[in-house]
Chains A and B, each alone.
Chain A
Amino acid sequence: MILVYIIVILLAGAFLAWISGNLSQVWPRIISLITLSIDLLLIITYLTQPTPFSSKWMIDIQYDWITQFGIGIHFALDGLSLLMLLLTFVLGIISVLISWKEINVKVGFFHFNLLLILAGIVGVFLSLDLFLFYFFWELMLVPMYFLIGIWGHENRTKAAYKFFLYTQASGLLMFISIIALYFVHGNSTGIFTFDYIQLLGTHMAPSTAMLIMTGFLAAFLVKLPVVPLHNWLPDAHSEAPTAGSLILAALLLKTGAYGLFRFIVPLFPAASVTFAPIGMALGVIGILYGAKLAFAQTDLKRLIAYTSVSHMGFVILGIFSFNELAYQGVVMQMIAHGISTGALFIMAGQLTERIHTRDITQMGGLWEKAPFMGAIGLIFSMASLGLPGLGNFIAELLILTGAFKASIIMSVLACLGLIAATLYSLRIMQKVFYGKKNNDWKMNDLSLREKIISITLVIIIAGLGFYPQPVFDIAKPALLKTLEQHTDKTVQQKEPVGEEFKLKSNTSLYKISNPL
């Protein structure tokens, strides 16, 4: 039941925050904070109890929803989703805190959207019914659209549009694939259901599997994003308010990675192997091209946005390496990138709040004015370039080692990304905090609230860097399960399958049962 409570609490909190916005500006903030803290506490108390980490699903609940189509409400929790939930709530709380001073108009509606996005994200991490999954996948779009479109910077409308159209169009392709998978499974077994567990191991002809997988890939690769499909990301990230950028970078992108883990690899074992070389190549291109573009930006938020493209390249590289080492790295990368890039966006937001520009050519020499902020900026720039002792190092090292087993060339090329990362990370520090002063800005250092936020994030990222073992322990069963399903099926599918099932022959353009 705890899983249902988590989502219901978020939804209830969202509406309460909206309504309370009529009373005062403070209430929505407090309500959101309480809502998210309750959810975080629920997860933590669950963790402190003896948890069945090693079992397939720690919690697994199912209800009927639209029985006519075999749609159910099926939530389940495993190590991977647990980690993602923790990340979501921690960053959710932080996004409320950083908006405390920044958002002063329509505060109630802002927090309504914020909590609704988080509810959508949590739903995505927990759903094991494909229809329900798509439902949540789309649920987070509209509030995110509002968040960018109402509280964003100058070009917010265009950015919001772009974000919505990209994600919606790719989402619809996934939707067709979900329905196609449903029919393929139903026609071969007679059980028409959207349930993930039952759909696992559906027999498909390789070409069918490839087609269906492409639909899923479209949605996940746009969300991740992968290079030819990344066009929406810099705009959305740079125009969104700080909380929006934080959630986009730290959580929304992770839903794409999560989707690859949860759906692509286990549902299409053979097809995903076929796709793997392309996937890894896309990852490498993303790493290098993202880094190159990041280096060329002058808008601080855009720069950080492109580093996300680069870092997400590691994720896709790891996922298509199909081994435990790489997978552990990917999970670590998802968390560490969430924290470090989130922190950089927070820093960019704090700077913009003080000097009202995001242009790094206008900055320079700010260390003197704000040493504390400079120190925090230094730590997260170092995290971004993969300095040992911080979480990102562990992640990237593991991914590269894992990828080395799968493809030496790709791994070697991806290593170049680390050098590129050094370049753009150092450039941030150089242009913003060191160097000569381009302007004599009047600015204060971080306030107490901002210090608390930053220090929390520093503790987390350093903790991940020095003692990553708990994360590995929690994630391990889930990752092994994914790999097991994957390898099982790959072997199975290579054997001649008795009843090879193709999409029904009448999937040709038109069915004409009785022409004249």
Chain B
Amino acid sequence: MSETDFYSLTPFLILAMAPIIIMIVISIFRNYEVVYGFSVLSFIVAIFSVFYILPLVPHNIDPLFIIDRFSLFFLGIIFFSGLLVTFLSYDYLKNLQGIREEYYIILFTSTLGASLLTVANHFILFFLGIETLTLSLYILIAFEKSKDRSIEAGIKYLILASVSSAFLLFGMGLMYVTFGTMQFTTIMVAMSHLEKLPPLFLYGFGMMLVGIGFKLALVPFHMWTPDIYQGAPAPISSYIATVSKGAVLAVFIRLFFNIKGFENQSIFYIISGIAILSMFVGNLLAIQQKNIKRLLAYSSIANMGYIIIILLTGSDKGIQSAIFYLITYFITTIGAFGVISLLSTKDFEAEKIEDYKGLFWKKPWMAVVLTLCMLSLAGIPVTAGFIAKFYLIYEGMKAGLMLLVFSMIINSVLGLYYYLRVITTMFSTAGKTELPSVSILGKLTLTIITIGILALGVYPGWLIDFIVRNVIM
């Protein structure tokens, strides 16, 4: 292992060190604030370390790692989202009885798993990363031990995730049988030598798609999503929606481009089918929800559908638009769950839509943030979601994917229906629900998110520029 190898792994080392240090600190002196402060610090250092290793890339550590600008970009997004989730967790956990410092340990291990996915160039690292992520998530989901629903969600996730991992593993095995290698880049080389792809490859990819589809919550592998989102602590729901999905998407994009999935007719149709189903099922089911966490869960299914289908363009441009969409989706989702978690107390989870009745007149600031998030998810101008949706439609039309464009348009209208319902509730006459006061830190996080949504909505040029320069497969 050379010196460069070592340096280029700095972000991962920081993430691996942080939980160990927290563990030692806890065993000596258990203090919530100290652990919390350290976690925030570690995330910030991790974000800076991404910039630190920027001059070293692209750098491959054979056979497992491929560290390029694409992975650094995803690392940056993941760490930043992790930081925001940490901010939001403070208030949520502060009132929790019993131990809560361990939460941050697990948060770091799961983020480590997620970040490994972004640099994976090998099935082994892919699997290691996804398992580290999943196992940690299972603990995080069930972290509120006193709540039955939390435990239930945790167990559900554990069982279903194990099944999906089995599929994933089987798929990897079939791919290995076909090509005799587990490295993405060598699979690509092996494929180019073959005149006709063996059917086993398709089976293998299909199996892997089940595993990946589960993690991304694509229809028909989406059943777990609403229950988990509802049962998990609100910050963790946002973590699953953003970090976990973003990381799996990163490795999926890399795999998909290495095997040139968009050139294969069967895969092309399978993926478009899954994506369009996800849009419609997600949006149609979301309309009927009375619980805002479940509503956001279904909306996340639909949103993944939009992103997945644009990968079929098979171009850097398509990926760039998908990533822009992903970033805006991250910001809005964390914002929405942020409001939910800041309004929840230890005995009361602000999750029913009717709990938000009259929120605008009681807590205008929170209501404005949630309104902006909903408008952004619906793709209304001045918010980031509008530009993101425009970008997707733009690239989709450029590539001639008219079916995508029309399903997106229909789904935008469907989506609008339930996003508007949340907004309407907030602006109706005040309900009886008592709401807790919000800490400075929570307000700060929401301010960052609001600025993000508006800045990207009004002046998105710089981010598009940044993505276009950095995200090249």
- Is there an interface contact between A176 and B393, defined as CB atoms closer than 8 Å? yes
Query: Could you show 9 A-B contacts with beta carbons less than 8 Å apart?
Result: A66-B387, A69-B394, A109-B360, A150-B427, A172-B413, A179-B393, A183-B397, A508-B402, A516-B266
User: Which residues of B are found within 8 Å of A165, using beta-carbon distances?
Assistant: 413, 416-417
- Is there an interface contact between B424 and A160, defined as CB atoms closer than 8 Å? yes
Whose C-beta in chain A lies nearest to the C-beta of B320? A68
* Contact A168-B361, Cβ < 8 Å, known A138-B380, A179-B397: no
Interface size class of B (residues with CB under 8 A): 35 or more
- Is there an interface contact between A142 and B465, defined as CB atoms closer than 8 Å? no
Chain A nearest CB: distance from B357 CB in Å?
12
Whose C-beta in chain B lies nearest to the C-beta of A131? B390
- Is there an interface contact between B381 and A138, defined as CB atoms closer than 8 Å? yes
Interchain CA distance A415-B375 in the complex, whole Å = 45
User: Which residues of A are found within 8 Å of B460, using beta-carbon distances?
Assistant: 66
- Is B401 on the interface with A (CB-CB < 8 A)? yes
Chain A nearest CB: distance from B61 CB in Å?
32
With a 10 A CB-CB cut-off, give which of A139, A168, A508 has the most chain B CB atoms: A168
User: Which residues of A are found within 8 Å of B197, using beta-carbon distances?
Assistant: 516
User: Which residues of B are found within 8 Å of A176, using beta-carbon distances?
Assistant: 393, 397, 405, 409
Chain A nearest CB: distance from B246 CB in Å?
23
Interchain CA distance A76-B435 in the complex, whole Å = 49
- Is B193 on the interface with A (CB-CB < 8 A)? no
**Residue interface mask A494-516, B partner, CB < 8 A = 1:** 00000000001011111111111
User: Which residues of A are found within 8 Å of B145, using beta-carbon distances?
Assistant: none
- Is there an interface contact between B264 and A510, defined as CB atoms closer than 8 Å? no
**Residue interface mask B14-27, A partner, CB < 8 A = 1:** 00000000000000
- Is A460 on the interface with B (CB-CB < 8 A)? no
Interchain CA distance A139-B382 in the complex, whole Å = 7
- Is A467 on the interface with B (CB-CB < 8 A)? no
- Is A146 on the interface with B (CB-CB < 8 A)? yes
User: Which residues of A are found within 8 Å of B381, using beta-carbon distances?
Assistant: 134-136, 138-139
- Is there an interface contact between A141 and B394, defined as CB atoms closer than 8 Å? no
User: Which residues of A are found within 8 Å of B272, using beta-carbon distances?
Assistant: 510
Whose C-beta in chain B lies nearest to the C-beta of A180? B397
Which A residues from 129 to 164 make CB contacts under 8 A with B? 131, 134-136, 138-139, 141-142, 145-146, 149-150, 157, 160-161, 164
- Is there an interface contact between A511 and B400, defined as CB atoms closer than 8 Å? yes
Which A residues from 172 to 189 make CB contacts under 8 A with B? 172-173, 175-176, 179-180, 183
**Main secondary structure on B side of the interface with A:** helix
- Is A46 on the interface with B (CB-CB < 8 A)? no
Whose C-beta in chain A lies nearest to the C-beta of B416? A168
Whose C-beta in chain B lies nearest to the C-beta of A505? B400
Contact among A160, A507, A512 with B402 in the assembled complex (CB-CB below 8 Å): A507
Which B residues from 450 to 473 make CB contacts under 8 A with A? 459-461, 464-465, 468
Given contacts A172-B412, A512-B265, A516-B196, 16 further A-B contacts (CB under 8 A): A67-B461, A135-B382, A135-B386, A138-B380, A138-B381, A142-B380, A149-B424, A160-B424, A168-B413, A175-B393, A506-B399, A509-B402, A511-B400, A512-B268, A513-B263, A516-B264
Interchain CA distance A164-B387 in the complex, whole Å = 20
User: Which residues of A are found within 8 Å of B465, using beta-carbon distances?
Assistant: 68
**Main secondary structure on A side of the interface with B:** helix
**Residue interface mask B302-328, A partner, CB < 8 A = 1:** 000000000000100000000000000
User: Which residues of A are found within 8 Å of B45, using beta-carbon distances?
Assistant: none
Whose C-beta in chain B lies nearest to the C-beta of A106? B361
- Is A65 on the interface with B (CB-CB < 8 A)? yes
Chain B nearest CB: distance from A138 CB in Å?
4
Chain B nearest CB: distance from A155 CB in Å?
13
Chain A nearest CB: distance from B388 CB in Å?
13
- Is there an interface contact between A68 and B268, defined as CB atoms closer than 8 Å? no
- Is B441 on the interface with A (CB-CB < 8 A)? no
| Count of interface residues, chain A, beta-carbon cutoff 8 Å | 45
User: Which residues of B are found within 8 Å of A512, using beta-carbon distances?
Assistant: 263, 265, 268
**Residue interface mask B357-385, A partner, CB < 8 A = 1:** 00011000000000000010000111000
User: Which residues of A are found within 8 Å of B405, using beta-carbon distances?
Assistant: 176
User: Which residues of B are found within 8 Å of A504, using beta-carbon distances?
Assistant: 400
- Is there an interface contact between A161 and B420, defined as CB atoms closer than 8 Å? yes
- Is B398 on the interface with A (CB-CB < 8 A)? yes
Chain A nearest CB: distance from B381 CB in Å?
4
Interchain CA distance A414-B388 in the complex, whole Å = 45
User: Which residues of A are found within 8 Å of B386, using beta-carbon distances?
Assistant: 135, 138
- Is A59 on the interface with B (CB-CB < 8 A)? no
Chain A nearest CB: distance from B175 CB in Å?
17
User: Which residues of B are found within 8 Å of A67, using beta-carbon distances?
Assistant: 461
Chain B nearest CB: distance from A179 CB in Å?
5
- Is B403 on the interface with A (CB-CB < 8 A)? yes
- Is A416 on the interface with B (CB-CB < 8 A)? no
User: Which residues of A are found within 8 Å of B265, using beta-carbon distances?
Assistant: 512, 515-516
Contact among A164, A169, A511 with B420 in the assembled complex (CB-CB below 8 Å): A164
Interchain CA distance A510-B380 in the complex, whole Å = 28
Chain B nearest CB: distance from A130 CB in Å?
12
Whose C-beta in chain B lies nearest to the C-beta of A511? B400
- Is there an interface contact between B464 and A66, defined as CB atoms closer than 8 Å? yes
Chain B nearest CB: distance from A475 CB in Å?
29
Interchain CA distance A507-B314 in the complex, whole Å = 16
Contact among A66, A168, A173 with B461 in the assembled complex (CB-CB below 8 Å): A66
Chain B nearest CB: distance from A75 CB in Å?
16
Whose C-beta in chain B lies nearest to the C-beta of A160? B424
* Contact A510-B401, Cβ < 8 Å, known A141-B380, A176-B409: yes
With a 10 A CB-CB cut-off, give which of B394, B412, B420, B464 has the most chain A CB atoms: B420
User: Which residues of A are found within 8 Å of B382, using beta-carbon distances?
Assistant: 135, 139
User: Which residues of B are found within 8 Å of A66, using beta-carbon distances?
Assistant: 387, 460-461, 464
User: Which residues of B are found within 8 Å of A179, using beta-carbon distances?
Assistant: 390, 393-394, 397
- Is there an interface contact between B264 and A157, defined as CB atoms closer than 8 Å? no
- Is there an interface contact between A142 and B375, defined as CB atoms closer than 8 Å? yes
Interchain CA distance A512-B263 in the complex, whole Å = 7
Whose C-beta in chain A lies nearest to the C-beta of B197? A516
Interchain CA distance A496-B381 in the complex, whole Å = 40
User: Which residues of A are found within 8 Å of B268, using beta-carbon distances?
Assistant: 510, 512
Chain B nearest CB: distance from A137 CB in Å?
8
User: Which residues of B are found within 8 Å of A135, using beta-carbon distances?
Assistant: 381-382, 386
Interchain CA distance A513-B461 in the complex, whole Å = 31
User: Which residues of B are found within 8 Å of A180, using beta-carbon distances?
Assistant: 397
Interchain CA distance A504-B397 in the complex, whole Å = 10
Which A residues from 266 to 323 make CB contacts under 8 A with B? none
Chain B nearest CB: distance from A122 CB in Å?
15
Interchain CA distance A160-B427 in the complex, whole Å = 12
Interchain CA distance A515-B264 in the complex, whole Å = 6
